[in-house]
Chain A
Amino acid sequence: MSVKVVVGKDILAVNRKRAEDLRARFKQMGIKVVNMLSSPGAGKTSILEATIPRLQKVRAAVIEGDVATTRDAERLSHLGIPLVQITTLGACHLDASMVWKALEEMDLSRVDLLFIENVGNLVCPASFDLGENLRVVVLSVAEGTDKPAKYPAAFLSSQVVLINKMDLVPYTDFDLERVLGEVRAMKPDMKTFTMSCRTGEGIDRWAEWLEKWVRESQ
Protein backbone atom coordinates (compact mmCIF):
# COMPACT_ATOMS: atom_id res chain seq x y z
CA MET A 1 0.00 0.00 0.00
CA SER A 2 1.14 3.50 -0.74
CA VAL A 3 0.68 6.28 1.79
CA LYS A 4 1.27 9.98 1.92
CA VAL A 5 2.36 11.51 5.20
CA VAL A 6 1.84 15.23 5.59
CA VAL A 7 4.72 16.55 7.68
CA GLY A 8 4.61 20.35 7.50
CA LYS A 9 7.75 20.69 9.58
CA ASP A 10 10.77 22.93 9.37
CA ILE A 11 13.74 20.94 8.01
CA LEU A 12 15.79 22.38 10.85
CA ALA A 13 13.31 21.40 13.55
CA VAL A 14 15.91 19.24 15.30
CA ASN A 15 18.47 22.05 15.40
CA ARG A 16 15.81 24.47 16.58
CA LYS A 17 14.85 22.16 19.45
CA ARG A 18 18.49 21.83 20.45
CA ALA A 19 18.88 25.62 20.26
CA GLU A 20 15.86 26.09 22.53
CA ASP A 21 17.44 23.68 25.01
CA LEU A 22 20.64 25.72 24.84
CA ARG A 23 18.76 28.96 25.38
CA ALA A 24 17.10 27.52 28.47
CA ARG A 25 20.45 26.33 29.75
CA PHE A 26 22.07 29.74 29.20
CA LYS A 27 19.17 31.44 30.93
CA GLN A 28 19.54 29.18 33.92
CA MET A 29 23.25 30.02 34.05
CA GLY A 30 22.52 33.75 33.77
CA ILE A 31 24.54 34.07 30.56
CA LYS A 32 23.66 36.19 27.54
CA VAL A 33 24.78 34.85 24.19
CA VAL A 34 25.74 36.72 21.02
CA ASN A 35 26.07 34.90 17.69
CA MET A 36 28.35 36.79 15.27
CA LEU A 37 27.96 36.34 11.52
CA SER A 38 29.90 37.83 8.63
CA SER A 39 31.75 37.08 5.42
CA PRO A 40 35.33 35.84 5.86
CA GLY A 41 37.60 38.74 6.72
CA ALA A 42 34.95 41.28 7.72
CA GLY A 43 36.53 41.57 11.15
CA LYS A 44 34.65 39.41 13.65
CA THR A 45 37.78 38.40 15.52
CA SER A 46 39.21 41.94 15.43
CA ILE A 47 35.94 43.27 16.84
CA LEU A 48 36.10 40.74 19.68
CA GLU A 49 39.75 41.66 20.33
CA ALA A 50 38.77 45.32 20.53
CA THR A 51 35.47 44.91 22.39
CA ILE A 52 36.24 42.45 25.16
CA PRO A 53 38.93 44.55 26.94
CA ARG A 54 36.49 47.49 26.94
CA LEU A 55 33.79 45.63 28.84
CA GLN A 56 33.91 47.00 32.38
CA LYS A 57 31.50 44.95 34.41
CA VAL A 58 30.61 42.18 32.03
CA ARG A 59 32.77 39.04 32.01
CA ALA A 60 33.07 37.55 28.55
CA ALA A 61 33.85 34.15 27.06
CA VAL A 62 34.24 33.11 23.43
CA ILE A 63 33.43 30.09 21.30
CA GLU A 64 35.38 30.36 18.06
CA GLY A 65 34.10 28.61 14.97
CA ASP A 66 36.56 27.96 12.20
CA VAL A 67 36.67 25.57 9.27
CA ALA A 68 40.23 24.36 9.63
CA THR A 69 42.53 26.38 11.87
CA THR A 70 42.83 27.57 15.45
CA ARG A 71 44.30 30.95 14.43
CA ASP A 72 41.38 33.05 15.62
CA ALA A 73 41.43 31.40 19.03
CA GLU A 74 45.19 32.00 19.25
CA ARG A 75 44.60 35.69 18.53
CA LEU A 76 42.20 35.90 21.47
CA SER A 77 44.15 33.75 23.91
CA HIS A 78 45.97 36.74 25.46
CA LEU A 79 42.66 38.10 26.72
CA GLY A 80 42.70 35.51 29.50
CA ILE A 81 39.04 34.57 29.14
CA PRO A 82 37.34 31.17 28.77
CA LEU A 83 37.82 30.27 25.12
CA VAL A 84 36.97 27.18 23.12
CA GLN A 85 37.68 26.57 19.48
CA ILE A 86 35.29 24.53 17.36
CA THR A 87 36.96 23.34 14.17
CA THR A 88 34.16 22.29 11.85
CA LEU A 89 36.45 20.30 9.50
CA GLY A 90 34.93 21.73 6.39
CA ALA A 91 31.40 22.50 7.52
CA CYS A 92 30.38 26.01 6.58
CA HIS A 93 28.42 26.87 9.73
CA LEU A 94 28.07 26.06 13.40
CA ASP A 95 24.99 24.24 14.61
CA ALA A 96 23.42 23.95 18.03
CA SER A 97 24.86 20.52 18.80
CA MET A 98 28.42 21.77 18.17
CA VAL A 99 27.82 24.56 20.68
CA TRP A 100 26.34 22.06 23.13
CA LYS A 101 29.50 19.99 22.87
CA ALA A 102 31.80 23.01 23.22
CA LEU A 103 30.11 23.89 26.52
CA GLU A 104 31.46 20.68 28.01
CA GLU A 105 34.95 22.10 27.68
CA MET A 106 34.22 25.51 29.20
CA ASP A 107 33.96 26.84 32.70
CA LEU A 108 31.20 29.40 32.44
CA SER A 109 30.64 29.83 36.16
CA ARG A 110 32.04 33.37 36.14
CA VAL A 111 30.78 34.51 32.76
CA ASP A 112 28.00 36.97 31.88
CA LEU A 113 28.36 37.15 28.12
CA LEU A 114 29.28 34.42 25.66
CA PHE A 115 30.27 35.38 22.13
CA ILE A 116 29.96 32.71 19.47
CA GLU A 117 32.03 33.63 16.44
CA ASN A 118 30.45 31.74 13.58
CA VAL A 119 32.26 30.44 10.49
CA GLY A 120 32.88 33.28 8.02
CA ASN A 121 29.95 32.92 5.64
CA LEU A 122 26.83 35.01 5.11
CA VAL A 123 24.66 32.21 3.74
CA CYS A 124 24.63 29.02 5.77
CA PRO A 125 25.02 30.25 9.38
CA ALA A 126 21.85 32.32 8.96
CA SER A 127 19.68 29.19 9.06
CA PHE A 128 21.12 27.73 12.25
CA ASP A 129 19.88 28.97 15.60
CA LEU A 130 22.61 28.48 18.22
CA GLY A 131 20.49 29.36 21.22
CA GLU A 132 21.70 32.95 21.15
CA ASN A 133 19.87 35.97 22.56
CA LEU A 134 21.31 38.39 20.03
CA ARG A 135 22.49 37.92 16.49
CA VAL A 136 25.02 40.40 15.16
CA VAL A 137 26.02 40.61 11.52
CA VAL A 138 29.30 42.32 10.62
CA LEU A 139 29.67 44.04 7.28
CA SER A 140 32.95 45.62 6.26
CA VAL A 141 33.32 48.62 3.98
CA ALA A 142 35.50 46.72 1.50
CA GLU A 143 32.67 44.27 0.78
CA GLY A 144 30.59 46.96 -0.85
CA THR A 145 27.14 48.39 -0.48
CA ASP A 146 24.96 45.57 -1.76
CA LYS A 147 25.41 42.88 0.91
CA PRO A 148 22.13 43.34 2.83
CA ALA A 149 20.03 42.88 -0.31
CA LYS A 150 22.17 39.95 -1.45
CA TYR A 151 22.12 38.07 1.84
CA PRO A 152 18.70 38.92 3.28
CA ALA A 153 18.46 35.86 5.53
CA ALA A 154 21.60 36.86 7.46
CA PHE A 155 20.42 40.42 7.91
CA LEU A 156 16.76 39.63 8.60
CA SER A 157 17.65 37.17 11.33
CA SER A 158 20.01 39.64 13.05
CA GLN A 159 19.15 42.42 15.47
CA VAL A 160 22.41 44.38 15.16
CA VAL A 161 24.59 45.34 12.19
CA LEU A 162 28.20 46.37 12.76
CA ILE A 163 29.79 48.20 9.84
CA ASN A 164 33.53 47.74 10.22
CA LYS A 165 36.62 49.17 8.47
CA MET A 166 35.12 52.67 8.29
CA ASP A 167 38.70 53.99 7.91
CA LEU A 168 38.59 52.61 4.33
CA VAL A 169 35.60 54.68 3.23
CA PRO A 170 37.70 57.39 1.48
CA TYR A 171 39.32 54.71 -0.73
CA THR A 172 36.11 53.03 -1.89
CA ASP A 173 32.73 53.94 -3.32
CA PHE A 174 31.01 52.59 -0.22
CA ASP A 175 27.76 54.47 0.33
CA LEU A 176 26.94 54.37 4.04
CA GLU A 177 23.58 56.12 3.74
CA ARG A 178 22.47 53.68 1.09
CA VAL A 179 23.48 50.66 3.17
CA LEU A 180 21.73 52.01 6.25
CA GLY A 181 18.67 52.76 4.13
CA GLU A 182 18.58 49.21 2.76
CA VAL A 183 19.05 47.71 6.19
CA ARG A 184 16.22 49.80 7.61
CA ALA A 185 13.99 48.92 4.69
CA MET A 186 14.50 45.26 5.58
CA LYS A 187 14.20 45.70 9.27
CA PRO A 188 13.11 49.08 10.60
CA ASP A 189 14.18 48.37 14.19
CA MET A 190 17.72 47.17 13.35
CA LYS A 191 20.41 48.60 15.58
CA THR A 192 23.47 49.75 13.61
CA PHE A 193 26.99 50.79 14.62
CA THR A 194 29.86 52.00 12.47
CA MET A 195 33.41 51.32 13.57
CA SER A 196 37.00 50.72 12.65
CA CYS A 197 39.04 48.19 14.56
CA ARG A 198 42.17 49.71 13.04
CA THR A 199 41.60 53.23 14.39
CA GLY A 200 39.36 52.26 17.31
CA GLU A 201 36.66 54.62 16.09
CA GLY A 202 33.16 53.62 17.18
CA ILE A 203 34.21 50.64 19.33
CA ASP A 204 33.45 52.39 22.63
CA ARG A 205 29.93 53.23 21.59
CA TRP A 206 29.22 49.63 20.59
CA ALA A 207 30.88 48.17 23.69
CA GLU A 208 28.88 50.49 25.94
CA TRP A 209 25.65 49.57 24.22
CA LEU A 210 26.49 45.86 24.48
CA GLU A 211 27.32 46.10 28.17
CA LYS A 212 24.07 47.89 28.82
CA TRP A 213 22.17 45.27 26.84
CA VAL A 214 23.71 42.44 28.89
CA ARG A 215 22.94 44.09 32.20
CA GLU A 216 19.45 45.26 31.31
CA SER A 217 18.33 41.99 29.84
CA GLN A 218 19.44 39.97 32.84
Chain B
Amino acid sequence: MHELSLITAMMDLILKDAQSRGIRKITRVELKVGEFSGAYPHALREAFAVASRATPMEEAELVIEEVPAELRCRECGAVFRPSETGWACPSCRSQNVLLQGGLELEIQSYHGRDGDVGQGRSRQGYSSGEQEES
Protein backbone atom coordinates (compact mmCIF):
# COMPACT_ATOMS: atom_id res chain seq x y z
CA MET B 1 0.00 0.00 0.00
CA HIS B 2 2.94 2.33 0.56
CA GLU B 3 4.45 1.61 -2.83
CA LEU B 4 3.47 5.03 -4.16
CA SER B 5 5.47 6.67 -1.35
CA LEU B 6 8.43 4.44 -2.19
CA ILE B 7 8.19 5.23 -5.89
CA THR B 8 7.98 8.99 -5.34
CA ALA B 9 10.94 8.82 -2.93
CA MET B 10 12.88 6.86 -5.55
CA MET B 11 11.94 9.34 -8.28
CA ASP B 12 12.97 12.32 -6.16
CA LEU B 13 16.39 10.80 -5.55
CA ILE B 14 16.99 9.92 -9.18
CA LEU B 15 15.59 13.11 -10.72
CA LYS B 16 17.71 15.23 -8.42
CA ASP B 17 20.80 13.20 -9.22
CA ALA B 18 20.05 13.26 -12.95
CA GLN B 19 19.54 16.99 -12.92
CA SER B 20 22.87 17.54 -11.25
CA ARG B 21 24.54 15.48 -13.96
CA GLY B 22 22.74 17.18 -16.80
CA ILE B 23 20.80 14.05 -17.70
CA ARG B 24 17.50 15.06 -19.20
CA LYS B 25 15.80 11.77 -19.85
CA ILE B 26 15.77 8.58 -17.81
CA THR B 27 15.45 5.43 -19.87
CA ARG B 28 15.82 2.67 -17.31
CA VAL B 29 15.72 2.29 -13.53
CA GLU B 30 16.98 -0.77 -11.68
CA LEU B 31 15.67 -1.52 -8.21
CA LYS B 32 16.41 -4.29 -5.76
CA VAL B 33 13.38 -5.32 -3.69
CA GLY B 34 13.57 -7.91 -0.94
CA GLU B 35 10.89 -10.53 -0.37
CA PHE B 36 10.40 -9.25 3.20
CA SER B 37 10.71 -5.55 2.38
CA GLY B 38 6.93 -5.11 2.49
CA ALA B 39 6.88 -3.70 -1.05
CA TYR B 40 5.30 -5.66 -3.86
CA PRO B 41 6.82 -5.46 -7.35
CA HIS B 42 3.44 -5.40 -9.06
CA ALA B 43 2.26 -2.48 -6.91
CA LEU B 44 5.59 -0.69 -7.46
CA ARG B 45 5.11 -0.96 -11.23
CA GLU B 46 1.56 0.34 -11.02
CA ALA B 47 2.67 3.23 -8.84
CA PHE B 48 5.53 4.04 -11.20
CA ALA B 49 3.23 4.10 -14.23
CA VAL B 50 1.12 6.75 -12.53
CA ALA B 51 3.80 8.80 -10.78
CA SER B 52 6.19 9.00 -13.72
CA ARG B 53 3.68 10.64 -16.05
CA ALA B 54 4.85 13.98 -17.40
CA THR B 55 8.29 13.62 -15.83
CA PRO B 56 11.69 12.86 -17.41
CA MET B 57 11.10 9.27 -16.28
CA GLU B 58 7.84 8.80 -18.14
CA GLU B 59 9.24 6.36 -20.66
CA ALA B 60 11.74 4.66 -18.41
CA GLU B 61 11.74 0.91 -18.06
CA LEU B 62 11.43 -0.17 -14.44
CA VAL B 63 13.51 -3.27 -13.76
CA ILE B 64 12.96 -4.90 -10.39
CA GLU B 65 15.33 -7.52 -9.08
CA GLU B 66 13.46 -9.53 -6.48
CA VAL B 67 15.70 -10.72 -3.68
CA PRO B 68 14.47 -13.85 -1.93
CA ALA B 69 14.62 -13.99 1.87
CA GLU B 70 17.67 -15.86 3.02
CA LEU B 71 18.61 -17.00 6.50
CA ARG B 72 22.00 -18.03 7.81
CA CYS B 73 22.47 -20.24 10.84
CA ARG B 74 24.81 -18.65 13.37
CA GLU B 75 25.69 -22.09 14.73
CA CYS B 76 26.48 -24.26 11.69
CA GLY B 77 26.61 -21.67 8.91
CA ALA B 78 23.89 -23.26 6.79
CA VAL B 79 22.10 -20.90 4.42
CA PHE B 80 18.40 -21.55 3.86
CA ARG B 81 15.01 -20.05 3.06
CA PRO B 82 12.50 -19.35 5.84
CA SER B 83 9.77 -21.98 5.88
CA GLU B 84 6.14 -21.96 6.92
CA THR B 85 7.04 -23.83 10.08
CA GLY B 86 9.49 -21.24 11.32
CA TRP B 87 12.99 -19.97 11.07
CA ALA B 88 14.90 -22.82 12.69
CA CYS B 89 17.96 -24.17 10.86
CA PRO B 90 17.00 -27.26 8.81
CA SER B 91 20.47 -28.78 9.35
CA CYS B 92 21.11 -28.40 13.09
CA ARG B 93 17.66 -27.17 14.34
CA SER B 94 19.30 -24.14 15.93
CA GLN B 95 17.05 -21.10 16.30
CA ASN B 96 20.01 -18.78 16.34
CA VAL B 97 19.62 -17.54 12.79
CA LEU B 98 20.21 -14.30 10.95
CA LEU B 99 18.19 -12.82 8.10
CA GLN B 100 20.90 -11.91 5.61
CA GLY B 101 18.76 -11.11 2.61
CA GLY B 102 15.18 -10.09 1.88
CA LEU B 103 14.76 -6.63 3.39
CA GLU B 104 16.32 -4.72 0.47
CA LEU B 105 14.71 -1.57 -0.93
CA GLU B 106 17.47 -0.14 -3.08
CA ILE B 107 18.03 1.89 -6.17
CA GLN B 108 20.77 0.01 -7.98
CA SER B 109 21.27 2.26 -10.98
CA TYR B 110 19.55 4.24 -13.66
CA HIS B 111 20.22 4.88 -17.32
CA GLY B 112 19.74 8.23 -18.95
CA ARG B 113 20.49 10.13 -22.10
CA ASP B 114 20.45 13.46 -23.92
CA GLY B 115 22.75 14.83 -21.28
CA ASP B 116 25.97 16.74 -21.56
CA VAL B 117 27.69 14.32 -19.23
CA GLY B 118 30.76 14.14 -21.39
CA GLN B 119 31.71 17.70 -20.60
CA GLY B 120 33.29 19.09 -17.53
CA ARG B 121 31.44 19.59 -14.34
CA SER B 122 28.72 17.00 -14.36
CA ARG B 123 31.33 14.30 -13.95
CA GLN B 124 32.90 15.68 -10.85
CA GLY B 125 32.22 15.49 -7.18
CA TYR B 126 29.84 12.56 -6.83
CA SER B 127 31.09 10.28 -4.18
CA SER B 128 27.89 8.30 -3.91
CA GLY B 129 27.49 7.42 -7.56
CA GLU B 130 29.67 6.14 -10.33
CA GLN B 131 28.93 6.89 -13.90
CA GLU B 132 29.64 4.70 -16.89
CA GLU B 133 29.16 5.55 -20.50
CA SER B 134 27.57 2.98 -22.71
Contact A15/B9 with A4-B131, A6-B108, A153-B103 known, Cβ cut-off 8 Å: yes
Task: Give Cα A40 to B12, complex, Å.
Answer: 31
Question: Chain B 60-83 against A: per-residue CB contact (8 Å), 1 yes, 0 no?
Answer: 000000000100000000000010
Known contacts A10-B105, A123-B38, A124-B2: A4-B9 contact under CB 8 Å: no
User: How far, in angstroms, from A5 to B105 measured CA to CA in the complex?
Assistant: 17
Contact yes or no, B86 A12, CB < 8 A: no
Q: In the complex, how many angstroms separate the beta carbon of A181 from the nearest chain B beta carbon? A: 7
Tell me the complex Cα distance, A72–B37, Å.
28
Main secondary structure of the interface of A (DSSP, over half): mixed
Instruction: Check B87 against A185 for contact (C-beta < 8 Å).
Output: yes
Within 8 A of A (CB), among B8-44: 9-10, 12-14, 17-18, 21, 23, 27, 31, 36-39
The one of A6, A11, A181, A182 that contacts B105, using a Cβ cutoff of 8 Å? A11
B31 nearest in chain A by CB position: A11
Q: Which residues of B contact A2 (CB under 8 A)?
A: 27, 111-113, 133-134
Q: How far is the CA of A186 from the CA of B102 in the complex (A)?
A: 13
Classify the secondary structure of B's interface with A: mixed
Q: Are A7 and B14 interface neighbours, CB within 8 A?
A: yes
B-side interface size class: 35 or more
Residues of chain B within 8 A (CB-CB) of A7 are 13-14, 17, 107-110, 128-129
Asked if A13 CB lies within 8 Å of chain B CBs, one says yes
Q: How large is the interface on A (under 10, 10 to 19, 20 to 34, 35 or more residues)?
A: 35 or more
Query: Is B130 within 8 A of A6, CB to CB?
Result: yes
Q: A6 touching B131 by the CB < 8 A rule?
A: yes
The reply to whether B37 and A9 form a contact with Cβ atoms under 8 Å apart is no
| Interface of chain A residues 2 through 31 with chain B (CB within 8 A) | 2-15
- Chain B, residues 96-134, CB within 8 Å of chain A (1/0): the string is 110100110111111111010110000000001111111
B contact residues around A12 at 8 Å (CB) = 6, 9, 105
Per the bound structure, the CA–CA distance linking A33 and B38 in Å amounts to 24
- Is A123 a contact of B86 with CB atoms below 8 Å? no
Q: Is B91 an interface residue (CB 8 A)?
A: no
Q: Give complex CA distance A46, B128 in Å.
A: 45
Q: Does B55 contact A (CB under 8 A)?
A: no
